[in-house]
Chains A and B, each alone.
Chain A
Amino acid sequence: MKKFVVPTLLLVFAFYGLSSWTTNETSEDLTANFIYGNPEIGSINALSFGPEGLLFVGDSENAMVYALDTKDISEKGNADEINIRKFDQMIAASLGTTEDKIRISDMAVNPKSKTPYFAVSMEDGTTVLLRLKGETLENVSLKEISYSKISLNDAIDSDAKDRRGRPRRVWAIADLKFHGDRILVSGLSNKEFASTLRSIPFPFTDSQDQTSLEIWHAAHGQYETHAPIKTFDVVSLNNQDYLMASYTCTPLVLFPMSELENGKHIKGRTVAELGAGNSPLDMISYKKEGKQYFLMSNTNRPVMRLDYEDIAGFKETLTEPVNEFAVATGVPYDNLPFPYVQQMDNLDDSNVLYIQRTGSGELVLRSRSTKWM
């Protein structure tokens, strides 16, 4: 499957993927190659839900992506309101320890049951997966679970060299999302400063694509940028899917999904720059009064809101550098009055769930209607 680069084959695959998706694949089809047991997860760095209660887990320590069958598939229309104070202390208490010995490394809400899941890493590196049912935390066993997994090191052409004795590269998984019939994974190298995006078909086979992404930035677009993607989402503009990526150096960039092919080096267009001293954390989209918006949380900035129409209306050609005017302004964004939001996900169609450090230093888990966002 390494000769997957042939574009026609890719198209066939894409068509196959699309058709299998539209034929409403059942849960059994998706989990046909799952096994029951201990997936031996080293660390959970990113969580993202797919269909039918399937939870995708990015493990930087082992450079693996897992699909876990949570069997949490009772459908729920609207989520209950959530407002838990001292949430880090609550998690620590459930693990018999204090909040200084835990870190909430990611949060994802199961879109089917509206149950929030939390990846927690302990001081000694132990990883735990918890979920919140009502106001009670539950453990999701990572030792006895139905799963399938794929290594990010395998099936990558560039790693052929590594078989001649060099250590394989370690990719810290920065973000991971399920889209259509694929898992998209962005990675940060702990060595080279480079940008790579993996696209992995699901159910897992032994194939995966790797694309190197490049962006233009700054006035007159004369600078090229190789930088790692921190978080991303997929946005549909004029009937075409785009990867909307936010970089460690803060530009917000669009890449046409159709151009993401194995081994290809593609250039995106910068649509916005989001300010200094900041690293993006999470990106989600939601609809309000028929309009679509994106929310992005950041390490040192409040949550930013971008309007879909502003992005769609940003009509620069994709491979040309953006002009000076566009860079000076970019797509406008609003700063929402939510600073220090550490985790964020859609709770249901009209609510967002987030973990925030308040002014008094307390960590709260809260849901909020998108009406107010």
Chain B
Amino acid sequence: MDVIYPYSIINKKIKLSLVFFCVALFFNCAKNKSSENIHVNYSNGKAVSVAFETEESPGYALYLKKNNLSPILGDLTCEKETCTFIPIVPFTAGQTYEIRKNKKLIGSFTIDRFRKQKNPELIAIYPSVDTVPQNLLKMYFVFSQPMQHSKSALDFISVFDNTLQKESDIFLEMQTELWNKEHTRLTLWLDPGRIKTDLIPNREKGPPLLQKHRYTISIDSLWTSEQGYPLARKYIKTLNVVGKDSQRPNPKLWDVNIPRANTKNPLEIRFNEPMDAVLILETIQVKNREGELMEGTFSLLENELKLEFKPKEKWVPGKYSVHVNPVLEDLAGNNLERLFDTDLSDNSVDTKSTENTLNFSIER
């Protein structure tokens, strides 16, 4: 018996292991069988629902793989032997999900990654010039595709002061990011509280940009589009900072190149300083003698120093005018009516309103 006793234990252990093995095999088979009967439905490249066959009564919940923080919100409907779950937002590409019943895993599925789309590109940074006034107020970043909505833009933008050889935080961090409706153009402000003379931020930290300093703005290639694709590459923009711009834009200082009659040649307006790239295209109108708006297209050229207006119809001899909406801003946020930072006690500051109409004639 002394000999058999250990054998009996080993025998029992083997039996027990076999039972475990079979049970595990059963669950494994059950899981696989279940997995085969899980169908993810795609619509426009998005995984919008999942259907799974079941013989059991409903009571299922979906979870992220190995995650117990919250069941996935959505609608579960069961009819005969098929249950369909529609999540409130489509499933995430590449993510694995679990179907559970009473905390027990019933099956799992993984969402396909679709054919790679084109990576987004950063197609323009305004101002296009590298030489900027010390009181530069804002920058625009224009992308070829709508960019992601979940992370802060400033997570992907870093600024290095080459003169001081250190990182510099020139942009104002904001919860409400300023994107256009299409989410392709971002506006960033250089911290306005630091630009405005004598505000506490200005006194404590000084202006965001320092005169005669050179800055490198790096835009990280980890920045993704709405569809989750990263930028095609890393982008770099250099700023060479010169003196403050303390003059309002003045249309009287602009050169107008008048086209010849009976042509569709463009009207050229050359500014004495670069203008705000977005506002300039929205604040200028060309009118005929009757005050009617001329139809045509505007193009901004030569680093925001020149605007061209191509008329839809040929120029007819006569008098015309260019109207500038006073909200037009230069790079420092000065508009036709006021400076961005106005010292009202300084009598030398010109507070007269600037003429905002330029007249010209087209001769026969």
Binding site for B on A (CB under 8 A): 42-43, 45, 60-62, 86, 89-91, 93-98, 100-103, 105, 121-126, 128, 130, 136-139, 161, 164-167, 170, 172-174, 188-194, 217-220, 222-227, 230, 247-251, 273-279, 281, 299-300, 342
Number of B residues near A (Cβ < 8 Å) is 76
**B341 & A223 in contact (Cβ 8 Å cutoff):** yes
* Complex A-B, nearest 5 residue pairs according to Cβ-Cβ distance, in ascending order: A249-B193, A218-B198, A276-B201, A190-B178, A222-B345
**What is the minimal beta-carbon distance from A353 to any residue of chain B, in angstroms?**
17
**What is the minimal beta-carbon distance from A282 to any residue of chain B, in angstroms?**
9
Q: How far is the CA of A281 from the CA of B152 in the complex (A)?
A: 15
Interface residues of B in 129-187 (CB under 8 A from A): 137-138, 146, 148-151, 169, 172-181, 183, 185, 187
From A121, A164, A230, contact of B150 by CB (8 A): A121
**B97 & A96 in contact (Cβ 8 Å cutoff):** yes
Interface residues of B in 200-228 (CB under 8 A from A): 200-202, 204-205, 224, 226-228
From A42, A166, A275, A299, contact of B200 by CB (8 A): A275
**B200 & A191 in contact (Cβ 8 Å cutoff):** no
**A222 & B343 in contact (Cβ 8 Å cutoff):** yes
Q: How far is the CA of A189 from the CA of B187 in the complex (A)?
A: 9
**A217 & B89 in contact (Cβ 8 Å cutoff):** no
**A223 & B344 in contact (Cβ 8 Å cutoff):** yes
18 further interface pairs, Cβ-Cβ under 8 Å (given A45-B176, A94-B70, A190-B178): A94-B71, A94-B73, A97-B95, A98-B64, A125-B146, A128-B88, A166-B285, A170-B181, A173-B176, A190-B179, A190-B187, A220-B345, A223-B196, A226-B338, A249-B199, A276-B200, A278-B193, A278-B201
From A61, A122, A194, contact of B89 by CB (8 A): A122
| Residues of chain A within 8 A of B95, CB atoms compared | 96-98
| Given A191-B276, A192-B329, A248-B172: A96 touches B201 (CB 8 Å cut-off) | no
Q: Is the CB of B342 closer than 8 A to any CB of chain A?
A: yes
**A188 & B178 in contact (Cβ 8 Å cutoff):** yes
Main secondary structure of the interface of B (DSSP, over half): loop
Q: Which residue of A lies closest to B174 (CB)?
A: A279
**B198 & A100 in contact (Cβ 8 Å cutoff):** no
Q: Which residue of B lies closest to A274 (CB)?
A: B200
**What is the minimal beta-carbon distance from B194 to any residue of chain A, in angstroms?**
7
Q: Which residue of B lies closest to A87 (CB)?
A: B69
| Given A95-B73, A126-B89: A248 touches B174 (CB 8 Å cut-off) | yes
**What is the minimal beta-carbon distance from B326 to any residue of chain A, in angstroms?**
10
Sample 13 A-B pairs with CB under 8 A, ordered by A number. A95-B89, A103-B149, A123-B228, A167-B282, A170-B180, A190-B278, A191-B279, A219-B198, A223-B198, A224-B342, A226-B340, A273-B199, A278-B201
**What is the minimal beta-carbon distance from B63 to any residue of chain A, in angstroms?**
7
Q: Is the CB of B67 closer than 8 A to any CB of chain A?
A: yes
**A276 & B198 in contact (Cβ 8 Å cutoff):** no
Q: Is the CB of B320 closer than 8 A to any CB of chain A?
A: no
Q: Which residue of A lies closest to B226 (CB)?
A: A124
| Residues of chain B within 8 A of A275, CB atoms compared | 200-201, 204
| Given A167-B282, A299-B173: A122 touches B189 (CB 8 Å cut-off) | no
| Given A95-B87, A188-B178, A279-B172: A248 touches B189 (CB 8 Å cut-off) | yes
| Residues of chain A within 8 A of B283, CB atoms compared | 166
**What is the minimal beta-carbon distance from A263 to any residue of chain B, in angstroms?**
15
| Residues of chain B within 8 A of A251, CB atoms compared | 199
Q: How far is the CA of A167 from the CA of B179 in the complex (A)?
A: 15
**B149 & A122 in contact (Cβ 8 Å cutoff):** yes
**B180 & A277 in contact (Cβ 8 Å cutoff):** no
**What is the minimal beta-carbon distance from A8 to any residue of chain B, in angstroms?**
30
Q: How far is the CA of A194 from the CA of B97 in the complex (A)?
A: 47
**B192 & A248 in contact (Cβ 8 Å cutoff):** yes
Q: Which residue of B lies closest to A143 (CB)?
A: B88
**B149 & A123 in contact (Cβ 8 Å cutoff):** yes
| Residues of chain A within 8 A of B327, CB atoms compared | 192, 194
| Given A60-B176, A121-B150, A249-B192: A218 touches B205 (CB 8 Å cut-off) | no
**B201 & A249 in contact (Cβ 8 Å cutoff):** yes
**What is the minimal beta-carbon distance from A213 to any residue of chain B, in angstroms?**
14
| Residues of chain B within 8 A of A98, CB atoms compared | 64, 92, 95
**What is the minimal beta-carbon distance from A177 to any residue of chain B, in angstroms?**
15
| Given A93-B64, A218-B199: A125 touches B149 (CB 8 Å cut-off) | yes
**B187 & A300 in contact (Cβ 8 Å cutoff):** no
Q: How far is the CA of A331 from the CA of B181 in the complex (A)?
A: 39
